[in-house]
Amino acid sequence: MNYTHLSLQERDGIFVLTLNRPNSLNALNMDTLAEIREALDFIKSKDGLQGLIFTGQGEKAFCAGADLKNVREMDPQDFLEFINISFEVWERIWNMPVPTAAALNGLALGGGCELALACDFRLAVKEAVLGLPEINHGLLPGWGGILFMLRIVGRAKTLEHVLTGKTIAAEQALEMGLITQITSRETLLSEAKQLVSTIAKKGLQTVKWAKQVINDYQTADLRKAFIHEALSGLACFVSDEAQKGLESFSLKNKKK
């Protein structure tokens, strides 16, 4: 299959999906999310599937989040559709029957952090930086970031990082449990492949049921919680604060 904003490779049943917009720090726009959704449906349909790994093209970023240049041009209906397609992507990742991992080769901010948090495991290079900085632009994480972070690190840390928008270095993320391993850039993908391969060899049916049980305990109200987060994000998007924040972002980029 041919894609514009990502690449997809497979070996021994392990798929590597690489976000491929390095000039935009692999930021997510509507077309990219649509391609990821299509790729995930294709991957899940394949016989012999063993695992799935996400990573980003280049050395700067795994994914810098939503493409704010694109977001700034959206009306509320467009923004709601943007949130909806992201949920369709995240839900597919969350419900993938095989182990999934995010190989963080650089920045994982906003929607990029949320994409990583939707995976079962997160491995990172020491230079990686995570965070949910949406509040700095008058916005809220609307793609499940609050929900996923809350379930991984608890209420206090989630409040701290959502309300301050501050970034999280790899070492701190490891201590918090946001990532599972720090590795070298040279071995990042091989370590991720080894992890998912080791788990898959335990028995794919067992892994599938184990994931389903764990997910069911954690996500009994996932859709309800996600809708609540999405609607809160939409309310922020139409506010004066968000419009000022997006305008400020646009002006900063014009000066670069």
Positions annotated as catalytic residues are 114, 134
Task: Tell me which residue of 100, 103, 73 sits closest to 196, measured CA to CA.
Answer: 100
| 66 bridge partner residues | 28
DSSP string, 64-87: --B-HHHHHT--HHHHHHHHHHHH
Q: Are 175 and 156 in contact (CB under 8 A)?
A: no
Question: Which residue spans within the chain are E strands per DSSP?
Answer: 6-11, 14-19, 51-56, 61-63, 100-104, 107-109, 121-125, 129-131, 168-169, 181-183
- Could you tell me if 1 and 42 are in contact, meaning their C-beta atoms sit under 8 angstroms apart? yes
Q: Are the beta carbons of 147 and 156 closer than 8 angstroms? A: no
- How far apart are the C-alpha atoms of 82 and 85, rounded to whole Å? 5
Sheet strand arrangement including 121-125: 6-11, 14-19, 51-56, 100-104, 121-125, 181-183
DSSP symbol at 24: G
- Bridge partners, 123 (sequence order): 103, 181
Q: Supply 228's token pair.
A: 């609540």
